[in-house]
Amino acid sequence: MEYETPLFFHVMAYAAEADHDVVDMVSGNPDWEPPEALRDGLREYADFDADRFQYPPSEGIRPLREEIAERRGVDASQVVITNGAGEANYLAMARALERGAGSEIVLTDPVYSYYPGKTTMLGGTAHYVSAGADGHLDPSVVRAATSDDTAAIVVNTPNNPTGAVYPEETVSELVEVAEANDAILVSDEVYDHYDLSGTFTSALSVDSDHRIVTNAFSKTLAITGFRVGYAIFPSHLVEDAKSRHMLVNVAGSRPAQYAVLRALQETDPAYHEANRELLRERVDLFTDALDGAGADYVRPDGAFYVLARFDDYPGTLSNVERLIDEAGVAGMPGSAFGESCEPWLRFALVTPRVEEAADRLAEYFT
């Protein structure tokens, strides 16, 4: 097989096997509570008549699609409920490649680790454009890298791993570049509820037949294990995407879809604001301690992660394992996110022990 398995699971397993205390900052699993209405939704579902335990419509239960369509200002027919953002991105990239309008996928470096594997699996070729460790993508660099052979440009904003949030001009220029090359902009916006900067712009804000927006409730509602995501397609691409969804998965899991629906209907915006506030505090705590350790870091504008760099300690897998063994802190090797990230380590702020972890790092490196 020519596609790479993401390193996440390897590092998580290594950290779990340690016989000493390790602060887990590896994966993007929120450690805060899901909304109470989500739990209520599961309880209610458990008592439903058995006919509601059977196949939902392949594209997802209708009230959930309608709720999403209304929130996102699109027609419900454009919405496909997927098995998390993982499947949403898979469907979007497959659709872009199957159009017969190119075989190249433009990805950023740093990159979210799953995109390269999906590209290869789908028979595409990855072409990287540099965004730097701060993740600030220059659309003119993307323009220069894009050609007739470009099938898709895949971006993630707010960005994992850099924490960058693309400004409105970047988003609209990326759509324009996609249009100019008959390519598809795939905008993965799973961290949209964790924009700490107030500047997040969805690619949906630009009306175009050349963009697909993917998202999920995994981070939004702190339920990465429920696997409820969605993709919003332009009308001319949605039917074929639904066919692939049906042929791969038939449909997503219905109890999870129903619980998400209840959570959307009943959760106050304050829930999301409180989560952002928690993240802001953790960013402060963690970066203060990194300052103390003399580390270089990128202060995130959104998402859950801090990229940090320590002198003479590149972000290799073996250095990550050494940090688990000797400092009791587990992060992700920067190398998992592309060449430009090789000097860096990524720490996920999804533990109440952020300060303790930072102190351990400070002690280890000073």
**Which residues contact a second copy (rule: CB under 8 A)?**
1, 3, 5-6, 9, 27, 29-34, 39-40, 42-43, 45-47, 50-58, 83-84, 86-87, 90, 98, 114, 117-118, 121, 222-228, 240, 242-244, 246-256, 259
Indicate the residue among 139 and 331 with the shorter CB distance to a second copy: 331
CB neighbour list of residue 133: distance below 8 Å, 6 or more residues apart:
110, 162, 298, 307, 309, 340, 341, 344
Q: Which residue has the tokens 């009308």?
A: 235
CB of residue 259 to a second copy, shortest distance in Å? 7
Structure tokens that stand for 64 in this block: 């959930």
Q: DSSP class of residue 34?
A: P
Between CA 135 and CA 337 the distance in angstroms is: 11
Angle value at C-alpha 196, between 193 and 201, nearest 5 degrees: 60
Residue whose entry in the numeric block shows the structure tokens 């290799």:
316
- Rounded to the nearest whole angstrom, what is the least distance from the CB of residue 286 to a second copy in the complex? 20
Q: Which is nearer to a second copy, 259 or 332 (CB)?
A: 259
Least spacing, CB of residue 227 vs a second copy, in Å: 4
Q: How far is the CB of 364 from a second copy (least distance, A)?
A: 26
Choice between 144 and 246, CB closer to a second copy? 246
Cβ–Cβ under 8 Å, residues 215 and 81: no
Q: Which CB atom, from 18 or from 250, has the smaller least distance to a second copy? A: 250
Q: Which is closer to a second copy, CB of 13 or CB of 180? A: 13
Query: Nearest approach, Cβ of 249 to a second copy (angstroms)?
Result: 5
Beta bridge partners of 129: 108
Nearer to a second copy, 80 or 362 (CB): 80
DSSP state of 168: H
CB proximity list for 116: less than 8 A, separation 6 or greater: 3, 4, 107, 126
Quote the least distance from Cβ 226 to a second copy, whole Å. Answer: 6
Which backbone phi and psi does 21 adopt, to 5 degrees?
-70, 130
Smallest distance, Å, CB 180 to a second copy?
25
- Residue closest to 183 by CA, chosen among 140, 205, 206, 212: 212
Q: Give dist(CA 351, CA 343) in Å, integer.
A: 24
Indicate the residue among 46 and 270 with the shorter CB distance to a second copy.
46
